[in-house]
Amino acid sequence: MGNASLLPEKAISFESGMKYFRHGMNLHLSLFKRWGNNLIDWTRSANETVWYARNITHLNTSGFEVGGEFHPQAYLDRKFIITSIAISYGFMTQSKSSGDYLSKYLLDYLKHKLDLRVTHPLTKNLTACWMLTWQDRNGTFTQWEGSQYGSEMSYSPILLIDSRINWSIRSFDLYLEANNLLNKTYFDYGNVRQPGIWTKVGVVFRLNFIKAVI
């Protein structure tokens, strides 16, 4: 059900961070805060079946992200099997000042997200990258039961594993990427069911422009 009396959204955002670099390693930390007023979303009470467009009076978001990347070969033997290890963790929380109702989109956010990436060579020009993601989404979604919507379900934490094999020669990269190797069934933002295992193939061509100095 629409609402012709909706007010425009307003928000103020703040972000600050720092980065640290040294040979073979880099670290980063960022903090953010967002104050939102009159944010628009589809909402309904627990005993209602119709979604109504409403302004959420106040919705404040805050969080942080911390992570880094380490290159073992800069400190260990150059023949060490792992070329890079990257890890990052993000945390987010929200607080709202409004009625007690279910929100369709705005209150579904990633509360926790942990990423781990490991890269290592296979042959001279062939490398492999393994990516592990653990995420825990706040909020609920409406379960689809074949022919109609059922009850509200909370998002469950999910562990995903992706892989990418990359072949490089001169200015070309040819890669094969496989996502969701564990073939997990899960729902993401907006009650959208995500695909199981899927793959893609791509080619990257790098252009090197030479600057002439006179």
Domain assignment present for 210? no
Domain assignment present for 116? yes
Which letter, b or e, does each residue of 111-125 get, where b requires 16 or more Cβ atoms within 10 Å of its Cβ?
bebbbbbbbeeeeee
pLDDT tens sequence across 117-153: 999 999 888 999 999 999 998 877 777 666 666 677 7
Question: Whole domain around residue 118: which residue ranges?
Answer: 10-205
Q: Which of 148, 164, 161 is nearest to 197 (CA)?
A: 161
Amino acid 12: pLDDT: 97
pLDDT tens sequence across 49-69: 788 998 887 889 999 999 999
Amino acid 176: pLDDT: 96
Q: Which of 133, 136, 118 is nearest to 179 (CA)?
A: 133
Task: Give SS3 for 1.
Answer: coil
- pTM exceeding 0.85: no
Contact 137, 170 (CB under 8 A): no
Q: Which of 34, 37, 33, 35 is nearest to 64 (CA)?
A: 33
Domain total for the chain?
Answer: 1
Domain assignment present for 2? no
Domain assignment present for 54? yes
Domain assignment present for 182? yes
Domain assignment present for 3? no
Domain assignment present for 213? no
Domain assignment present for 211? no
- Find the CATH number of the domain harbouring 162: 2.40.170.20
Bridge partner list, 100:
none
Contact 64, 89 (CB under 8 A): no
- HSE of 78, CA atoms in CB hemisphere, 13 A: 0
Q: What are the backbone dihedrals phi and psi of residue 143, each rounded to the nearest 5 degrees, phi first? A: -70, 130
